[in-house]
C-alpha cells in the first residue's frame, strides 16, 4: 500500500499497517513518532544552500554526489555500524534487514597501525594537514570540491 497515513500531532507519514493496534482502519492513530503528541521536536533546519543543491539539483556534480552519497558518508564517519544481520530480506528493491541481538559501533584506534594509512576517525586526529588527501586515497569515486 501507500504511505499515506499522517500522524495528527506531528505530521509523520505511515503505512496503514503501522497504526496502533487499538485504533481502527476508519480512525487510525500512530504513536511511535511522537507518543501521541507528548514529544515535540523543533523543525529540521534547512541544509546550507550548497548541500541542498547537491541533494536537489540535476547538475552533473549533484548527480555524481547522489550516486556516491554513501561513500561521502563513510569518508566523514567516525564510527561504523555493526550487528549480526539476517540477510534473508536483503534482495532487490528497498534495502532492509533484520538484526539479531545487539547493535554496536566500531570506533577503532585513534592512531593507525604502523605502515597503514589513516581511516575514519583517525583522519581527524592523525596527519591533519593531509586529511583531505588521506580521504581521497580511501575513496577514489568522490569529488574533492564537494569534500572541501
Distance from the Cα of residue 47 to its chain's centroid: 15
pLDDT in tens, 60-87: 999 999 999 988 887 777 777 788 877 7
101/59 same-domain check: yes
> Taking 80 as the threshold, does the pLDDT of residue 131 lie above it?
no
129/58 same-domain check: yes
pLDDT in tens, 7-46: 999 889 999 989 988 899 899 998 888 988 899 888 889 9
Nearest Cα to 125, choosing from 107, 111, 139, 135?
A: 111
Burial 6-37 (b: 16+ CB within 10 A, else e): ebebeeeebeeeebeeeeeeeebebbebbeee
24/81 same-domain check: no
78/134 same-domain check: yes
63/127 same-domain check: yes
pLDDT in tens, 136-147: 777 677 787 777
Q: How confident is the model at residue 97 (pLDDT cuts 50, 70, 90)?
A: confident
Report the half-sphere exposure of 45 (CA within 13 A, side-chain side): 4
142 close to 72: Cβ distance less than 8 angstroms: yes
36/56 same-domain check: no
Q: How far apart are CA 63 and CA 141, in angstroms?
A: 13
Q: Is the pTM of this model over 0.85?
A: no
How many residues make up the chain in this entry? 148
Amino acid at each position: 500500500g501507500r504511505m499515506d497515513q499522517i500522524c495528527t500531532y506531528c505530521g509523520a507519514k505511515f503505512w496503514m499497517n503501522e497504526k496502533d493496534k487499538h485504533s481502527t482502519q476508519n480512525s487510525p492513530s500512530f504513536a511511535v513518532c511522537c507518543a501521541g503528541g507528548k514529544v515535540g521536536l523543533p523543525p529540521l533546519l534547512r541544509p546550507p544552500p550548497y548541500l541542498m543543491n547537491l541533494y536537489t539539483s540535476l547538475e552533473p556534480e549533484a548527480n555524481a554526489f547522489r550516486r556516491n552519497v554513501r561513500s561521502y558518508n563513510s569518508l566523514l564517519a567516525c564510527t561504523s555500524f555493526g550487528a549480526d544481520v539476517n540477510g534473508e530480506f536483503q534482495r532487490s528493491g528497498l534495502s532492509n534487514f533484520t538484526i539479531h541481538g545487539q547493535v554496536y559501533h566500531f570506533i577503532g584506534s585513534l592512531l593507525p597501525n604502523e605502515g597503514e594509512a589513516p581511516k575514519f576517525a583517525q583522519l581527524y586526529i592523525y596527519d591533519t594537514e593531509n586529511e583531505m588527501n588521506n580521504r581521497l586515497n580511501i575513496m577514489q569515486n568522490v569529488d574533492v570540491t564537494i569534500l572541501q
